[in-house]
Amino acid sequence: MAQVNRRLVLLGGVAAAAGAVTLPTSLPAWARSRTAASAPAIRDPFQLGVASGDPLPDSVVLWTRLAPAPLNEDGFGGMPDAAYDVEWELATDENFGSVVQNGTVSTSRAMGHSVHVEPEGLEAGRDYFYRFRTEGHLSPAGRTRTAPAADSAVDSLTYCFTSCQHWEEGWYHAHRGIADDDPDLVLFLGDYIYEKPSGREPELKVRGLAVTDETTTLALYRARYGQHKTDSDLQAAHAAAPWLVVFDDHEVVNNWNSTSSPAGTQRKEEAFQAFYENMPIRSSAVPDGAKIQLYRRFQWGQLARFHLLDTRQHRDAQAEDDSCSVMRDPDRTITGSEQEKWLLDAFATQPSTWDFLGQQVFFAQRDGDGDKDTCDDTDAWDGYEGSRDRITQGWVDAGVPNMVVLTGDVHRHWAADLRQDYFDHDSAVVGSELVTTSVSSTSAGAEPPSEQWLANNPHIKYCQGERGYVRVTATSGELKADFRVVSDALEQDPAKVEITTDASYVVEAGTPGLKPA
Amino acid sequence: MARSPIRIAAAALAAAAALALAAPPAAAAVDGTVETGGEALTVRRAASTSSTDVGEVANGTAVSIDCRTTGPEVSGPVGTTTRWDYVPELEGYVSGAYVRIADSQTAPDCGVGTGSARCSSGSCAGEAVFDSADPRFVVYDQAADGRSAVVTYWLDGGAGPQYAWNSEGNGTDVERPVEVASGEWIHYRVCVANYSDSDPDLESCGPAITDYAA
């Protein structure tokens, strides 16, 4: 790791000296500040921090959103109904002495005064620093990095992933831990916001929503994201590294593609719009009405590939009850046929050692009684066995050597091996699944799996119901997953909270299956 | 080669301090003239006809309006409007139905860092004034309803709500200092509730506002 970074720093110095892209000039970029005529003066609008995401070898998305009054119920964040020019700059040093690119973009209420910049022509595999300025206000600085070149050897990759951060149910210590771990990447696998206040008893809630209405309109979704982004730990985690983000169900409404309470077209449009506005994702994800292109792929040199899935938008309606005949119907899909083909086609080439499938819901089977004639979880891949079978068969047939599924949703850490027939406890292990617990959403009331349950599901190795995240360090030889836990997410004071590794598992490249580290 | 996020954050902050120089926007007050046709106009603590009468202002008086907000609709010589104007020198709000402003002028929405007030919904049983210059709430209990008046408020950083209570009974007021730094926002609303140090059951919460410490 140390060796790689020295090399990258050196390359960066050479490139800057050679005048790649734009050299800093004697005229400060800020001196050319201009704002659309008639835009009223505003107070410091950088109350939601900065973020970056979707790194490519030559580009990374830079994000902020102007909101001097971030909790306002109208969702406008205190921004007047006017266009504002926002300047951005990208530098190779944290003091912005070596600015390599800068520019100005306009934003307005139509986009929630959000800013998405996609600079191009960057150097692969190096750190950058970025910040924004408007109306004389300067944003905090963020650190980001580009992906290594696709054909480059990469010694090591460290990333953290997490999910499920109900505002009221806990402090975001997990995000503080992520920022302190200094990862190359962060994955967030859904439930960034929740549509409703927590239904938990008062002692399980640590704070309250300013706007408690269910998020049924664009204004309410915007206000909900606005409040989340006032959290200083969340801001720190966003500012520490580029993120890869997908949504799950609560960014729209609980189980929004179920048959019992499907979200209508307008609600999806407004939820997707607010999601795009508030996430550091590419313009390819600008919603087209009630559709959003969320599944996408990123490569980290010859070391890793991330296939980010959307298992919500294109799924067949969830089974009404735990009917095995529906859940095992081979014609049903959790990805939709287009996304499935996109994924299966990718298995044909294996440019990287590790394939990570970043997605929302439990992939491995969880069958409590071990009885093949009963079925349990309609929401997860268990409810769409045809999809799971086809995708697993796809990577087995293609000889994908090191498949690891990354999952959120269930508010507990889990580690599992993947099989093609989970009822045959001697069948081959064909991959592994790492499931992150939640940042804050509670699992109170969930009992640990019993010995009998585990005996019925021997592919499942670990379950832990504390808040936290998973930290993965991958090299060409092995992967190590540290299941990080927060000692008490109901305690606000960081000095009284420990963030520790509860368990670690290793997967050796070329030898599928989790091993205790 | 381990990087220290904390050190980097500190350095970035230092850089920001060197470059960021924005003062809060100058208050864009607009001039108005009280127009009642004769009688004096009532000044209210908050923007509501139910809010406490805190004084009056004579017909024809020139007033400086810091900002405008929305309240109950009122009809008067200037028109029928839900606009209420905040006039700091009168320590309260007057209905826009009695204040003429030059056509070309529009006061900004309230929350301009010169102070503000809100009341609970309905009959304004609870009222509170936020003092931007010396950040604190003055919380008024205006009803013998057996309940406290309470301000619920949020600050930067992610905690909240915090509470500013007046449990002294009808007709009293209580000062509650607020830890908010100069230039930072505070988002608040006024409710009534039975006092609770943890999870009060809030009732009659009025409209929220974001204001700023001066």
What is the domain extent for residue B165? 116-212
CB B126 within 8 A of CB B119: yes
Q: In chain A, how many H helices and how many E strands?
A: 9, 22
> Can you give the C-alpha Rg of chain A in angstroms?
23
Q: How far away is chain A from the Cα of B40, in angstroms, using its nearest Cα?
A: 34
CB A207 within 8 A of CB B158: yes
Q: Is residue B1 part of a domain?
A: no
Which of A4-13, A16-25, A188-197 has the least mean pLDDT?
Answer: A4-13
If asked whether residues B63 and B132 sit together in one domain, one would say no
Q: How far away is chain A from the Cα of B105, in angstroms, using its nearest Cα?
A: 13
Collect all residues with Cβ–Cβ distance below 8 Å to A303 and sequence separation of at least 6. Answer: A148, A153, A154, A156, A157, A352, A353, A354, A474, A475, A476
Q: Is residue B160 part of a domain?
A: yes
Q: Is residue A150 part of a domain?
A: no
CATH number of the domain to which A91 belongs: 2.60.40.380
Token pair belonging to B31: 């001039």
Residue B1 and residue A141: Cβ atoms within 8 Å?
Answer: no
Of B44, B66, B101, which marks where a domain is finished?
B101
Residue A71 and residue B154: Cβ atoms within 8 Å?
Answer: yes
If asked whether residues A392 and A507 sit together in one domain, one would say yes
> Can you give the C-alpha Rg of chain B in angstroms?
20
Of B73, B101, B129, which marks where a domain is finished?
B101
Distance, in Å, from the CA atom of B116 to the CA atom of A44, rounded to the nearest integer, reads: 19
The tally of domains found in chain B comes to 2
Q: How far away is chain B from the Cα of A138, in angstroms, using its nearest Cα?
A: 5
Flag whether pLDDT at A33 surpasses 80.
no
If asked whether residues B90 and B42 sit together in one domain, one would say yes
Q: Is residue B20 part of a domain?
A: no
What per-residue confidence (pLDDT) applies to B104?
A: 84
If asked whether residues A69 and A172 sit together in one domain, one would say no
Max CA distance (Å), chain B:
78
If asked whether residues A275 and A171 sit together in one domain, one would say yes
The tally of domains found in chain A comes to 2
Residue B208 and residue A71: Cβ atoms within 8 Å?
Answer: yes
Between vectors from CA A351 to CA A349 and to CA A357, what angle results, nearest 5°? 80
Q: Is residue B92 part of a domain?
A: yes
B159 reaches A (C-beta below 8 A):
yes
Residue B199 and residue A202: Cβ atoms within 8 Å?
Answer: yes
Q: Is residue A194 part of a domain?
A: yes
Residue B187 and residue A72: Cβ atoms within 8 Å?
Answer: yes
If asked whether residues B45 and B94 sit together in one domain, one would say yes
pLDDT tens, position by position, A419-475? 999 999 999 999 999 999 999 999 999 999 999 999 999 999 999 999 999 999 999
Work out the average pLDDT over A343-362.
98
B16 reaches A (C-beta below 8 A):
yes
If asked whether residues B72 and B152 sit together in one domain, one would say no
3-state secondary structure of A152: coil
Q: Which of B1, B157, B212 faces A1 most closely, judged by CB atoms?
A: B1
Flag whether pLDDT at A22 surpasses 80.
no
Token pair belonging to B189: 């609303």
Q: How far away is chain B from the Cα of A140, in angstroms, using its nearest Cα?
A: 7
Residue A141 and residue B21: Cβ atoms within 8 Å?
Answer: no
3-state secondary structure of A289: coil
Residue B16 and residue A95: Cβ atoms within 8 Å?
Answer: no
CATH number of the domain to which A310 belongs: 3.60.21.70
Q: How far away is chain B from the Cα of A90, in angstroms, using its nearest Cα?
A: 13
What per-residue confidence (pLDDT) applies to A158?
A: 98
What per-residue confidence (pLDDT) applies to A32?
A: 41
Work out the average pLDDT over A162-182.
98
Q: Is residue A273 part of a domain?
A: yes
**Among all residues of chain B, which has the CA nearest to that of A73?**
B208
pLDDT band for position A47 (50/70/90)?
very high
If asked whether residues B73 and B147 sit together in one domain, one would say no
Distance, in Å, from the CA atom of A296 to the CA atom of B186, rounded to the nearest integer, reads: 39
B183 reaches A (C-beta below 8 A):
yes
What per-residue confidence (pLDDT) applies to B11?
A: 42
Distance, in Å, from the CA atom of A278 to the CA atom of A366, rounded to the nearest integer, reads: 34
Q: Is residue A152 part of a domain?
A: no
Work out the average pLDDT over A126-143.
98
Residue B22 and residue A138: Cβ atoms within 8 Å?
Answer: yes
Q: Which of B24, B108, B160 faces A208 most closely, judged by CB atoms?
A: B160
If asked whether residues B120 and B208 sit together in one domain, one would say yes
What is the domain extent for residue A319? 157-516
pLDDT band for position A13 (50/70/90)?
very low
Max CA distance (Å), chain A:
74
Task: With beta carbons under 8 A apart, name residues in chain A contacting B15.
Answer: 94-96, 141
If asked whether residues A89 and A197 sit together in one domain, one would say no
Collect all residues with Cβ–Cβ distance below 8 Å to A298 and sequence separation of at least 6. Answer: A54, A55, A56, A147, A244, A305, A306, A308
Interface of B with A in 35-54 (CB under 8 A): none
Of B76, B101, B126, which marks where a domain is finished?
B101
3-state secondary structure of A380: coil
Phi/psi of residue A219, nearest 5 degrees: -60, -45
- What are the angstrom distances between the C-alpha of B66 and each of A41, B89, B105? 14, 10, 12
Q: Which of B5, B20, B157 faces A240 most closely, judged by CB atoms?
A: B5
pLDDT tens, position by position, A211-247? 999 999 999 999 999 999 999 999 999 999 999 999 9
Distance, in Å, from the CA atom of A115 to the CA atom of A139, rounded to the nearest integer, reads: 12
B198 reaches A (C-beta below 8 A):
yes
CATH number of the domain to which B69 belongs: 2.30.30
If asked whether residues B126 and B184 sit together in one domain, one would say yes
Task: With beta carbons under 8 A apart, name residues in chain B contacting A78.
Answer: 111, 185, 210
If asked whether residues A307 and A344 sit together in one domain, one would say yes
Of A145, A178, A204, which marks where a domain is finished?
A145
Task: With beta carbons under 8 A apart, name residues in chain A contacting B203.
Answer: none
Q: Which helix (H) or strand (E) holds B81?
A: strand B79-87
Task: With beta carbons under 8 A apart, name residues in chain B contacting A95.
Answer: 11-12, 15
Task: With beta carbons under 8 A apart, name residues in chain B contacting A183.
Answer: none
Tell me the Ramachandran region of residue A54: left when phi exceeds 0, alpha when psi lies from -120 to 50, beta otherwise: left
Distance, in Å, from the CA atom of A480 to the CA atom of A474, rounded to the nearest integer, reads: 6
What per-residue confidence (pLDDT) applies to A131?
A: 98
Residue corresponding to tokens 């410091």: A44
If asked whether residues A262 and A299 sit together in one domain, one would say yes
Q: Is the peptide bond before A28 cis (omega within 30 degrees of 0)?
A: no
pLDDT tens, position by position, A484-499? 999 999 999 999 999 9
**Among all residues of chain A, which has the CA nearest to that of B160?**
A207
Q: Is residue A26 part of a domain?
A: yes
How many beta-carbon pairs below 8 A join chains A and B? 110
If asked whether residues B147 and B59 sit together in one domain, one would say no
Flag whether pLDDT at A5 surpasses 70.
no
Residue A141 and residue B2: Cβ atoms within 8 Å?
Answer: no
ipTM field: 0.89
Distance, in Å, from the CA atom of A69 to the CA atom of B208, rounded to the nearest integer, reads: 11
Q: Which of B15, B25, B160 faces A141 most closely, judged by CB atoms?
A: B15
Of A112, A145, A178, which marks where a domain is finished?
A145
CB B19 within 8 A of CB A138: yes
Q: Is residue A151 part of a domain?
A: no
Task: With beta carbons under 8 A apart, name residues in chain B contacting A205.
Answer: 199
Q: Is residue A496 part of a domain?
A: yes
Residue B3 and residue A208: Cβ atoms within 8 Å?
Answer: no
Question: Digits of tens for pLDDT over chain B (214 positions)?
Answer: 344 443 444 444 444 443 444 555 555 799 999 999 999 999 999 999 999 999 999 999 999 999 999 999 999 999 999 999 999 999 999 999 999 998 888 999 999 999 999 999 999 999 999 999 999 999 999 999 999 999 999 999 999 999 999 999 999 999 999 999 999 999 999 999 999 988 899 999 999 999 999 9
If asked whether residues B40 and B128 sit together in one domain, one would say no
If asked whether residues B148 and B94 sit together in one domain, one would say no
Residue A136 and residue B8: Cβ atoms within 8 Å?
Answer: no
If asked whether residues B121 and B96 sit together in one domain, one would say no
**Among all residues of chain A, which has the CA nearest to that of B25?**
A41
Which of A9, A145, A220, A230 has the most B C-beta neighbours within 10 Å, making it the best mutation to test the interface with B? A230
CB A459 within 8 A of CB A422: yes
If asked whether residues A354 and A457 sit together in one domain, one would say yes
What is the reported pTM? Answer: 0.91
If asked whether residues A140 and A163 sit together in one domain, one would say no
Task: With beta carbons under 8 A apart, name residues in chain B contacting A170.
Answer: none
pLDDT tens, position by position, A84-113? 999 999 999 999 999 999 999 999 999 999
- CA dihedral sign of residues A405, A409, A415, A418: negative
Q: Is residue A327 part of a domain?
A: yes
Q: Is residue B139 part of a domain?
A: yes
Phi/psi of residue A296, nearest 5 degrees: -165, 175
Q: What letter does residue A224 receive in the DSSP assignment?
A: H
Task: With beta carbons under 8 A apart, name residues in chain B contacting A202.
Answer: 198-199
Type of residue at A459: H
Q: Across-strand partners of A127?
A: A145
If asked whether residues A141 and A178 sit together in one domain, one would say no
Task: With beta carbons under 8 A apart, name residues in chain A contacting B107.
Answer: none
DSSP letter string, A329-352: -TT--SS-HHHHHHHHHHHT---S
Q: Which of B160, B185, B208 faces A207 most closely, judged by CB atoms?
A: B160
Q: Which of A78, A95, A137 faces B22 most closely, judged by CB atoms?
A: A137
B17 reaches A (C-beta below 8 A):
no
Flag whether pLDDT at A12 surpasses 60.
no
Of A145, A171, A205, which marks where a domain is finished?
A145
Half-sphere exposure of A273 (CA within 13 A, CB side): 24
Q: Which helix (H) or strand (E) holds A386?
A: helix A385-398
What per-residue confidence (pLDDT) applies to B102?
A: 85
pLDDT band for position A28 (50/70/90)?
very low
**Among all residues of chain A, which has the CA nearest to that of B113?**
A43
What per-residue confidence (pLDDT) applies to A222?
A: 98
Distance, in Å, from the CA atom of A17 to the CA atom of A15, rounded to the nearest integer, reads: 5
If asked whether residues B37 and B67 sit together in one domain, one would say yes
If asked whether residues A118 and A183 sit together in one domain, one would say no
CATH number of the domain to which B161 belongs: 2.60.40
Token pair belonging to A290: 């009630």
pLDDT band for position A320 (50/70/90)?
confident
Distance, in Å, from the CA atom of B31 to the CA atom of B29, rounded to the nearest integer, reads: 7
